[in-house]
A and B are shown apart, each in its own frame.
Chain A
Amino acid sequence: MHKMLWKLFSRDMTLFMHRKQDVVTVLGFFLIAVALFPLGISSDPELLKTIAPGAVWIAALFSTVLALDRLFSEDLDDGTLEQQMLMPVPIALLLLVRLIAHWVITGLPLVLLAPLIGLQFGLSFDEIVILTLSLLIGTPILVLLGAIGAALTVGLKSSGGLVTLLLLPLYVPILILGTSAVSSSMHGVDVTAHFSLMGAALLVSLVLSPFAVATALKITLD
């Protein structure tokens, strides 16, 4: 069982590794989006500190959506998605492994960049830790939930705008949790509650989302 899971994981990783360009695009998008906030709003340090959690989170959210666009589309085009759905492995498990691999490639780099961005926005060490932690728990949730939308819209002509529309309502609670964790910690509020809620959300989406994605993909391939 472990061996099989590992095999699936390394298989997805090799595939994703062949698309380095995508990772670069997503990271570039994230960095530029974050940089636009000070340019567009103000460089006032106090104000920057206030908007920092929201700016970083919103940029991470849209980067995730951007990366999700490629999660299934190429596999659908070349026919490998069908083959995956016929593998003698529970599809939800296969998808869970795949989503984790996708997060490692496109989500984890955002988390690792977060401390640098925190410095740009003049956050203190503690605040940076909280920001990074909130993204570390939050971005996998974004990927897990987002995959449902990606699975429902894969192969459609104008899927980009549509997937954003489908995902925004799903993402609101996570966005609220993530940003308020950071801004609460700035005001010296205890953020254990935020993190336990986010941890719970992560667990629930880890368990439920692969099944939802599997159902959505079956519908899409029908």
Chain B
Amino acid sequence: MLEIEGLAVEREERLLFSGLSVKLSAGEGLHIVGKNGAGKTTLLRALCGLTLPATGVIKWNDQDVTEFREAFCSDLLYLGHKNANKTELNCRENLRLALGIQTISDEEVGDALHEAGLGMLSHLPTRFLSQGQQRRLSLARLLLSKATLWVLDEPYVALDYKAIEWLDSILERHLKNKGLLVLTSHQTLTMSSTIRVLNLGEQHA
């Protein structure tokens, strides 16, 4: 269970948001919306512990994440604006690298790449891939990750409609398996599962 209590983040002398409190339990999703500069990305980064909040506590399974960083990080999967792919490595190597210390077999990697539609390209260095293909490669780690909390920043960017359907199905499967999901997106979600919406603009008066 994820709990955010009284979170406030400040950027350049200005409070982006303050007094933000949210609870998210297993199988729930949270869609963060807000206009440009409302602090959506910053909220996700603060949630992961990448940005230091001005005030507030984030708890994962009733434990403060700053104290139990490793436990939190082993349950967390974060995908930022950048795809986090090494351009000089091929798809297989990148996927292995992205999953860090998790042990996975070659077949699993191959299957995941195949599902992401990169089966044929898996031995090419990623610099030859298009934007959409690169995005799918970084999304392929969702298929292999054991993390229960997914934090995705604009995951639909650069995806075509078929890939959007594919991502929807992954996210729905994750929620059905009692996973937690926090994401930002400009588009209205096409997922069939209901997902809570948090509007950042309305949070701070």
* Residues on A facing B (Cβ under 8 Å): 4, 7-8, 11, 14-15, 18-19, 77-80, 82-83, 85-90, 218, 221-222
Contacts and interface: CB of A to CB of B under 8 A. Distances in A.
Nearest to B85: A78
B76 A222 contact: no
A222 B51 CA distance: 5
Contact of A79 (B76, B82, B88): B82
A78 B70 contact: no
Interface in B76-100: 76, 78, 80-89, 93, 97-98, 100
Interface of B: 48-52, 70-71, 73-74, 76, 78, 80-89, 93, 97-98, 100-101
A15 B146 CA distance: 24
B141 to A, nearest CB: 10
B70 A88 contact: yes
A15 B98 CA distance: 12
B47 to A, nearest CB: 11
Given A19-B88, A79-B84, 19 more contacts: A14-B93, A15-B86, A15-B97, A18-B86, A77-B82, A78-B83, A79-B82, A79-B83, A80-B85, A82-B50, A82-B82, A83-B98, A83-B100, A85-B50, A87-B73, A88-B73, A89-B100, A90-B70, A222-B52
A78 B52 CA distance: 22
Contacts of B76: 86
Contacts of B97: 11, 15, 80
B101 A8 contact: yes
A18 B51 contact: no
Nearest to A15: B86
B86 A7 contact: no
A86 B100 CA distance: 10
8 contacts: A78-B83, A78-B86, A82-B78, A82-B80, A82-B84, A86-B49, A86-B73, A221-B50
Nearest to B48: A86
Which among B70, B80, B86 has the greatest number of chain A C-beta atoms within 10 A?
Answer: B86
Nearest to A88: B74
B73 A83 contact: no
Nearest to B77: A86
B147 to A, nearest CB: 9
Contacts of B87: 78
Contacts of A222: 50-52
Given A222-B50, A222-B52, A83 B78 contact: yes
A4 B101 CA distance: 7
Which among A19, A86, A222 has the greatest number of chain B C-beta atoms within 10 A?
Answer: A86
A87 B100 contact: yes
A88 B101 contact: yes
Contacts of B78: 82-83, 86
B101 A7 contact: yes
B50 to A, nearest CB: 6
Instruction: List the 5 closest A-B pairs by CB distance, nearest first.
Output: A79-B82, A88-B74, A79-B84, A88-B73, A18-B88
Contacts of B88: 18-19
B84 A78 contact: yes
B10 to A, nearest CB: 11
B66 to A, nearest CB: 11
A4 B100 CA distance: 10
